[in-house]
Amino acid sequence: MSADASTMTDDQIREAVRDILKANTHEGYSEQFQTPYCYIQPSTSTYPFQYFWDTCLHVFILTALDEHKLAQQNIRSLFAMQDDDGYVGHMLHWSRVRPAKWTDIFQSRPGRNLFRPHMSALIQPPLVAQTVQRIY
């Protein structure tokens, strides 16, 4: 938004937010998981991966903007890599599988191939129940 954002109408602010979210939307298809994925990058350069909390909060915003289809795609992508035991990592690496920083390797799950789609070994506190409730 520009420096004169205080003069924007509510509708202009909504459209500016929608434009940012759509510009940061990353879509593709995972051969490994045999599924399409769609998520909003918190930052296209600094945070290019799908993040658990960010996805939940993006869904809150998307539903407020009546972007329900995009919200559903984001939450489905969040759970597309879910392990059989229910585990979902806080970072999902879909197409850019190499860590952004070499120290991110320490967040990876032991024994996993870092050069294919995978999740981090870290988790974030649950927010997903409220997120799904917003969509459905």
pLDDT band at 46 (very low <50, low <70, confident <90, very high): confident
Bridge partners for 25 per DSSP: 40
Q: Measure the CA–CA gap between 107 and 109, rounded to whole angstroms.
A: 7
Residue 25 has pLDDT above 90, yes or no: yes
Q: Measure the CA–CA gap between 29 and 129, rounded to whole angstroms.
A: 26
Bridge partners for 26 per DSSP: 39
pLDDT band at 68 (very low <50, low <70, confident <90, very high): very high
104 vs 121: which has the higher pLDDT: 121
Annotated domain spans of the chain: 6-135
Which of 112, 41, 105, 102 has its CA nearest to residue 74?
A: 41
Strand 35-40 and strand 50-51: pairing?
unpaired
